[in-house]
Amino acid sequence: MGNAFGVRLWRAPAKINLSLHILGRRLDGYHELESVVAFSGFGDMLGFTPADELGLDVEGPTAVEAGPSEDNLVIKAARALAARAPGLRLGRFSLRKVLPVAAGIGGGSSDAAAALRALAHLNGISLDDPRLIEAAAATGADVPVCLQPRARVMAGIGDRIGAPLDLPPLPSLLVNPGIPTPTPRVFAALGLERGAAANFGPAVDFAHAAGWLAALRAARNDLQPAALKVAPEISEALERLASLPGALLTRMSGSGATCFAVFEDRATLMRGTREIKAQRPGWWARPTYLR
């Protein structure tokens, strides 16, 4: 997508963990997981213009929370790819930041993946090029699954990405009470020792479940109890979503604090959105379809 000024625009949609099962903690400290992820119909927007030097400008409602430009994952991703692809043509990025930060929806990771897609397009690099995938993994655990934002299963430490899933569009409401939940704090609250296996419950066999909704209802987010210790306000978001007419499934995404509810149709989704906005006008709330 582009505009009249020749700036190419790249979407960076929110990543939603429909399920998140923690399998254990490795000796190196990383947690093994299995998660079904989907992507929203909205998100941040990244502009890109080829230039001799790498640069980034950030604006938008959550630009301040995103931190200094030099620490942004967009810059980190570009440098990671440049280190693996000598002679890489670079450019200047302009990021419009609308997704909440430290919110469990992979905003920074999706921004970084959009930057990698932009650089790949400019340099004739395919999205399955090992250099691009390595640069994504070096940037962050959630970046590889955001490179081609379609519903998938991600596993391991985010390094094993499954084929696209035949997931129907899910009418969903995303809600964030405005409480940042940094991922390291949530994993610390989980309390798994290095080398320990988790015992939060059995895995869900999505392939043989009686439909997606049944499979997702049988799943869970193992980080949710830990996140509630860090940010107890998440419980109110979950309770309010679960009480909305037409809400079929309610869960927290990632390490929080963003929560989601899946609705039976668009009408109940929009009715639920109006109710949440009336009840808690200060909350971030966005209706969307997860795909």
Helix H, strand E, coil C: the string for the chain is: CECCCCCEEEEEEEEEECCEEEEEECCCCCEEEEEEEEEEEEEEEEEEEECCCCEEEEECCCHHHHCCHHHCHHHHHHHHHHHHCCCCCCEEEEEECCCCCCCCCCHHHHHHHHHHHHHHHHHCCCCCCHHHHHHHHHHCCCHHHHCCCCCEEEEECCCEECCCCCCCCEEEEEEECCCCCCHHHHHHHHCCCCCCECCCCCCCCHHHCCCHHHHHHHCCECCHHHHHHHCCCHHHHHHHHHCCCCEEEEEECCCCCCEEEEECCHHHHHHHHHHHHHHCCCCEEEEEEEC
**Residue 4: pLDDT over 50:** no
Per-residue model confidence as pLDDT tens digits over 83-120: 999 999 999 999 999 999 999 999 999 999 999 999 99
* 49-54 average pLDDT score: 96
Local confidence band at 7 (pLDDT 50, 70, 90 cut-offs): confident
* 38-44 average pLDDT score: 97
* 190-216 average pLDDT score: 87
**Residue 2: pLDDT over 50:** no
Q: What percent of the chain has pLDDT over 70?
A: 97
**Residue 70: pLDDT over 90:** no
CB atoms within 10 A of CB 138: 16
State the pLDDT at residue 69: 83
* 2-28 average pLDDT score: 87
* 61-70 average pLDDT score: 88
Local confidence band at 66 (pLDDT 50, 70, 90 cut-offs): confident
State the pLDDT at residue 91: 97
* 254-264 average pLDDT score: 97
Active site residues: 15, 142
State the pLDDT at residue 210: 73
**Residue 265: pLDDT over 50:** yes
Domains of the chain in start order, with CATH, are: 8-161 (3.30.230.10), 170-290 (3.30.70.890)
**Residue 253: pLDDT over 80:** yes
Local confidence band at 67 (pLDDT 50, 70, 90 cut-offs): confident
* 201-209 average pLDDT score: 76
**Residue 205: pLDDT over 80:** no
Predicted structure pTM score: 0.94
Supply the mean pLDDT for the chain: 94
